[in-house]
A and B are shown apart, each in its own frame.
Chain A
Amino acid sequence: GAGVSQSPRYKVAKRGQDVALRCDPISGHVSLFWYQQALGQGPEFLTYFQNEAQLDKSGLPSDRFFAERPEGSVSTLKIQRTQQEDSAVYLCASSLDRVIYEQYFGPGTRLTVT
């Protein structure tokens, strides 16, 4: 079956631009996660949704980062006024309800801010 998909795969933004990154989780997966991964580092947790409810946003680095999942399926991570330090790979993952440690990851979106 289809896995987690993310779009775009690559995004180049000029400093100060807003960007929107999309995640399509596996159908029926209740939980959805966003991570930020810098080069050579492990993924860093950003936020967690259970259905449409954002239950944990403690990892969002600033108020320029915003995530939503309005209908409990597709999710969008928005970054306003991008800065160079936002350059990273943004990973989305989904999992069945409480099995949050068995996550299925998408290929990621590589964001480069110039």
Chain B
Amino acid sequence: LAKTTQPISMDSYEGQEVNITCSHNNIATNDYITWYQQFPSQGPRFIIQGYKTKVTNEVASLFIPADRKSSTLSLPRVSLSDTAVYYCLVGGGTSYDKVIFGPGTSLSVIP
């Protein structure tokens, strides 16, 4: 049973803000929300992690509403180098939880 649902693909023009939303209706109380980025021929790279409200780092922002049933990864002013697959994961609470990647969202940034 999939733990998360996100769009398969998105297109955006350079310089725009991109928001990728992930649904996780069955998120557990102790689960964190984590996003990874993967470029072709590379392993995934950790981008950001949050539990509630908003988290921001030098790469992205993560918005989590109060019910935590969804989350939105926001990439400001994307460039061509942001073209990648983005994965949303939930889990990692107080006990071991097998990490499950879905198919991710393939973001294409257009010049």
Chain A residues packing against B (C-beta within 8 Å) = 4, 33, 35, 40-45, 48, 55-56, 58-59, 91, 93, 99-108
Most chain A beta-carbon neighbours within 10 Å: one of B44, B87, B89, B98 = B44
11 further A-B contacts with Cβ under 8 Å, apart from A42-B103, A55-B96, A101-B34, are: A35-B101, A42-B101, A42-B104, A48-B96, A101-B91, A103-B44, A103-B46, A105-B43, A106-B43, A107-B41, A108-B42
Asked if B101 and A44 make an inter-chain contact with CB atoms under 8 angstroms apart, the answer reads yes
Contact B92 A45 (CB under 8 A): no
Residues of A near B97 (CB, < 8 A) are: 100
Q: B interface vs A, CB < 8 Å?
A: 32, 34, 41-46, 49, 85, 87, 89, 91-92, 96-104
Secondary structure dominating the interface of B: loop
| Other-chain residue from B87, B92, B104 in contact with A99 (beta carbon distance below 8 A) | B92
> Main SS of the interface on chain A?
loop
**Residue pair A45, B99 in contact (C-beta under 8 Å):** yes
Report the tally of A-B residue pairs with Cβ distances under 8 A.
59
Q: Is A102 a contact of B46 with CB atoms below 8 Å?
A: yes
Whether B101 lies near A101 (C-beta < 8 A) is no
Compute how far the CA of A45 lies from the CA of B101 in the bound complex, rounded to whole angstroms.
8
What residues of chain B lie closer than 8 Å to A48, measured between beta carbons?
A: 96, 98
When chains A and B are docked, how far (Å) is the Cα of A82 from the Cα of B11? 38
B14 to A: closest C-beta gap in Å = 25
> CB-CB < 8 A to A103: which residues of B?
44, 46, 99
Alpha-carbon distance between A39 and B100 when the two chains are bound, in angstroms? 17
Closest partner residue, chain B, to A101 (CB atom): B92
Residues of chain B lying within 8 A (CB to CB) of residue A108: 41-43
B100 surroundings in chain A (CB, below 8 A): 45
Asked if A93 and B49 sit within 8 Å, CB to CB, the answer is: no
